[in-house]
Chains A and B, each alone.
Chain A
Amino acid sequence: MTWETVIGLEIHAQLATRSKIFSASSTAFGAEPNTQASAVDLGLPGVLPVVNRDVVRMAVRFALATDASITRRSVFARKNYFYPDLPKGYQISQMAFPIVGPGRISLTLPDGEEKIIGLTRAHLEEDAGKSVHDLFDGYTGIDLNRAGTPLLEIVSEPDMRSAAEAVAYARYMHSLVRYIDICDGNMQEGSFRCDANVSIRQSGSNTLGTRTEIKNLNSFRFLERAIEFEIERQIDIVESGATVVQETRLYDADRDETRSMRSKEEANDYRYFPDPDLPPLVIDDDFIDAVRSTMPELPAARRARFVEQLALPPADAQALCADRQTADYFEAVFENHSFAPRLAANWVLGELFARMNKENIPLAASPVSSAQLGRLIERVDDGTLSGKLGKQVFDALWSGEQDVDAIIDSRGLKQISDTGAIDTMIDAVMADNPTQVAEYRAGKEKLLSFFVGAVMKASRGKANPAQLNQLLRERLKG
């Protein structure tokens, strides 16, 4: 029997606001415990929540980026449960009327195929605090710095059919939320967290199997491993004649397995109801238009433009649009220059990326600015530098030198394109190697590269390679 896997993801993206969703406390990560928790965050008697407008703006950005409907009158609801790091005894979330309604994204799978993944909804909610279990003997410490941090919970349709698709989707979302500046995407700090709903069914079946929800997936690798483990586990259960139990499972990265956290029967009744402290969140056209006017070009549109208008190969366009900083950098490289954008793509994806990878440096920290790289490519394009000399200039820029033309001048890297000078060098090389000249003329034409190399060496690499080739061919003909 063959099995089909059905996966839906719930992603919690921490919104990159400066202050919390319902209070003015800072959201900065890593402060001393409980130093970023105000009376509102602590849930002191008498306090009231006030919605941070930036949070609303970011949710609207997400909706605009995912072709999703924007709920004009969304409602905050209370999710009631007791936990020591949940100060009010309820979490303010959204239930029946989430701010973002159904949407969709188009995912490019590893094999190049495009797949539409539906989004069920995305809603705003506040994060809880943190329980620290290993700091005090016999006690649990509570740190409420994180309490009230804004989250956008993005719920997908069960449209993914493999762990690889789920990871591709998660990566897409990870890239998108950073692209539209609503989340820093830092997975170690918990800014981007995934829960996976996994079930299996017989291939060809239209009904969904019983699902389990896997929590605590804070890296793409864990997401993939956990889903793969869970698929195998469910297949084993069903093939042994038993049934899968609907439950929440936790992924244990150390043991590479999922284990039961709580079953459906043990699940809380959250007693959701509309939060009477917060009027419905009303969003009008003006607000949406204002947000729309600040939206960046989205990755998919940008990719298409790179291919259609800049004549880049699709793979290059994809790589350059993986994040907004790279695409912006790339566009800045050829801005104000007349060379083909394709050259800029080659340099960014080639030389620049290779150095960044080798030295493990992010683009933001690259010592070579887009303006410097643009000038360098211009000098290659106008014949001042050969490609090879260009790389030497790149090295100089990478080590901190600033001015491309000054580097060329001070090091005498200017390409020799003067035919007279090249001819003189060819003369000398032919005079030194009469045997090879004779052999070439007898038909051993692959000796051309020997002569190119020798002249290039004599020019200390500066001879214009195209000119050199042409002149050599003519001269060797005899």
Chain B
Amino acid sequence: MHDMTMAQQAALLASGELTSADLVEHYLARIEQHDARLNAYLAVDAEGARLAAAEADKRLQRGEAGPLTGIPIAHKDIFCTTDMATTCGSRMLENYVSPYAATVVDKLQAAGMVTLGKANMDEFAMGSSNENSYFGAVANPWQENRVPGGSSGGSAAIVAARLASAATGTDTGGSIRQPAAFCGITGIKPTYGRVSRYGMVAFASSLDQGGPLAQTAEDCALMLQAMAGHDVRDSTSSVLKVPDFSESLNENLAGLRIGIPDEYFAQGLDSDVGDCVNEALSVLESAGAILKRISLPNQNLCIPAYYIIAPAEASSNLSRFDGVRFGHRCENPQDIDDLYTRSRGEGFGPEVKRRILIGAYALSAGYYDAYYKKAQQVRQLVSDDFTSAFAEVDVIAGPTTPTTAFERGAKSDDPVAMYLNDLFTVSANLSGLPAISAPCGFADGLPVGLQLSASVNQEARLLNVVHRYQGLTDWHRRMPDAVA
């Protein structure tokens, strides 16, 4: 039953041909069978999942179920949960149990979803390979010596290996889309503000956005529907009405204007990846879309600007981890400075420390204007590029990543090479736009991701385009042999 999409499972749950209890047992068995190799789960709550499944089955029997009732999922371990630890992949929060649940967790629970466990991730969502988890790297289910991408690497690996029907993730610079691309699944980063950030441990507040990772656009639409909406506890959450994402999935693509930025097909793009993406664009063209070359002239400034703004915000957001109230505290602190220094020194891993240092430096007196302020100006330029582009096209298409999944350890010693993984993804975060990644082929047995972005609040359009594309292709139906 793991070869079904979430929507297919939901139909069987609704008709009574399948129970949530069956699904949960099935996935628990698969986790048992495969996760020792993959290390995608940081925690599995079998007992809690069984109880929730029983509850969901009752709702289904009473006819009180929604489209997600009884579907087993995993939460990225950045979402606060009250029944399992929320570690953010960090020693700092090892064993930390939140006294409250994230809005996203509450909403999906209210929709009847069953939480199997918490997904591994790069520490505090900082990374593009999931190698920065204190609890160990995650294997890419397609080739287990390869990385699954990051930071939502655990979530992507779980969905790709069919160890849950879907998973939540967060995307600050590509952390949903890049692992979705590396693992051959579909993941959408919604418009900034679409999904509440309350209870989602902050990395870079102005860029962070939660979203679903699933097999298909249809599944993402179902899940995003339940995740989205205004939250009075998040001042940056959008007050706009959430459209019905499923309703528009089948709209015709005839006349759809797709912008192809020259900058996305320039140096740094692996030719195999480029070929897959071009092939996908041809499919869309044959479905009636009009392809149009466009330019995003400030694209080359995205990575430098992002790697100032994100660390700057992170350096401040992570100050609360001081060993005083929660989280890791060093043994026998001598005084308050010793408490801070050793608690943070021991609790944070090297990438987190690197970004705290970069961020604190960028914000410090005398450097603020040259770095943080300048980066914010660049951010505006990047946004303006998109505004101009979307005056002419409906969506912008390109590769999600320059390459396919790389081998574990290949970029561990070269932070800048690692950061360049985010080359095509960070612009959507800097501009607050929605963007989606969907599988569009394979290069040397590894999945390739097609990225589509649209102007703000146009998630429905992205889901529609990908859904139609997935009706014409079957890349999203492929499953890694090792977990088939």
Tell me the B304-337 residues at the A interface (CB within 8 Å). 312-313, 315-316, 318-322, 324-326, 336
Chain A residues contacting B98 (CB-CB under 8 Å) are 44-46
Q: Which of B99, B202, B364 is within 8 Å of A39, CB to CB?
A: B99
Cβ A84 vs Cβ B324 within 8 A: yes
Cβ A89 vs Cβ B320 within 8 A: yes
Cβ B235 vs Cβ A89 within 8 A: no
> With an 8 A cutoff between CB atoms, is B363 at the interface?
yes
| Residues of A participating in the B interface, judged by any CB pair closer than 8 Å | 39, 42-51, 78, 80, 82, 84, 87-90, 140, 142, 269, 271-273, 276-279
> With an 8 A cutoff between CB atoms, is B201 at the interface?
yes
Cβ B205 vs Cβ A50 within 8 A: no
Chain B residues contacting A277 (CB-CB under 8 Å) are 202, 205, 235-236
Cα-based distance from A273 to B368 in the complex (angstroms): 9
> With an 8 A cutoff between CB atoms, is B80 at the interface?
yes
Smallest beta-carbon distance B409→chain A, Å: 30
0/1 per residue, B174-213, Cβ < 8 Å to A?
Answer: 0000000000000000000000011111101110000000
Chain B residues contacting A88 (CB-CB under 8 Å) are 319-320
> With an 8 A cutoff between CB atoms, is B102 at the interface?
yes
Chain A residues contacting B235 (CB-CB under 8 Å) are 48-51, 277-279
Cβ B325 vs Cβ A87 within 8 A: yes
Cβ B102 vs Cβ A80 within 8 A: no
Q: Which residue of B lies closest to A39 (CB)?
A: B100
28 residue pairs from A and B, CB less than 8 Å apart: A39-B100, A45-B80, A45-B320, A45-B326, A46-B102, A46-B197, A46-B198, A46-B199, A47-B198, A47-B199, A48-B233, A48-B234, A48-B236, A50-B233, A87-B325, A89-B316, A89-B322, A140-B336, A142-B325, A269-B364, A269-B365, A273-B313, A273-B316, A273-B368, A276-B204, A276-B205, A276-B206, A278-B235
Cβ A82 vs Cβ B316 within 8 A: no
Q: Which residue of A lies closest to B361 (CB)?
A: A271
> With an 8 A cutoff between CB atoms, is B93 at the interface?
yes
Give the interface size class of chain B. 35 or more
> With an 8 A cutoff between CB atoms, is B475 at the interface?
no
Q: Which residue of A lies closest to B231 (CB)?
A: A48
> With an 8 A cutoff between CB atoms, is B340 at the interface?
yes
Chain A residues contacting B365 (CB-CB under 8 Å) are 269, 271
Chain B residues contacting A50 (CB-CB under 8 Å) are 232-235
Tell me the B38-82 residues at the A interface (CB within 8 Å). 79-80
Smallest beta-carbon distance B233→chain A, Å: 6
Q: Which residue of B lies closest to A140 (CB)?
A: B336
Chain A residues contacting B88 (CB-CB under 8 Å) are 45
Cβ B313 vs Cβ A276 within 8 A: yes
Smallest beta-carbon distance B483→chain A, Å: 32
Q: Which of B93, B206, B360, B368 is within 8 Å of A45, CB to CB?
A: B93
Cβ A273 vs Cβ B319 within 8 A: no
> With an 8 A cutoff between CB atoms, is B406 at the interface?
no
> With an 8 A cutoff between CB atoms, is B96 at the interface?
yes
Smallest beta-carbon distance B455→chain A, Å: 20
Cβ A46 vs Cβ B319 within 8 A: no
Cβ A43 vs Cβ B372 within 8 A: no
Cβ B198 vs Cβ A43 within 8 A: no
Q: Which of A269, A271, A279 is within 8 Å of B236, CB to CB?
A: A279
Chain A residues contacting B115 (CB-CB under 8 Å) are none
Chain A residues contacting B400 (CB-CB under 8 Å) are none
Q: Which of B234, B319, B321 is within 8 Å of A80, CB to CB?
A: B319
> With an 8 A cutoff between CB atoms, is B427 at the interface?
no
Chain A residues contacting B315 (CB-CB under 8 Å) are 80, 271
Cβ B360 vs Cβ A271 within 8 A: yes
0/1 per residue, B323-360, Cβ < 8 Å to A?
Answer: 01110000000001000100000000000000000001
Smallest beta-carbon distance A20→chain B, Å: 14
Chain B residues contacting A45 (CB-CB under 8 Å) are 80, 86, 88, 93, 96, 98, 201-202, 320-321, 326
Q: Which residue of B lies closest to A80 (CB)?
A: B316
Cβ A273 vs Cβ B197 within 8 A: no
Tell me the B280-325 residues at the A interface (CB within 8 Å). 312-313, 315-316, 318-322, 324-325
Chain A residues contacting B236 (CB-CB under 8 Å) are 48, 276-279
Cα-based distance from A150 to B477 in the complex (angstroms): 55
Cβ A273 vs Cβ B326 within 8 A: no
Cα-based distance from A39 to B201 in the complex (angstroms): 13
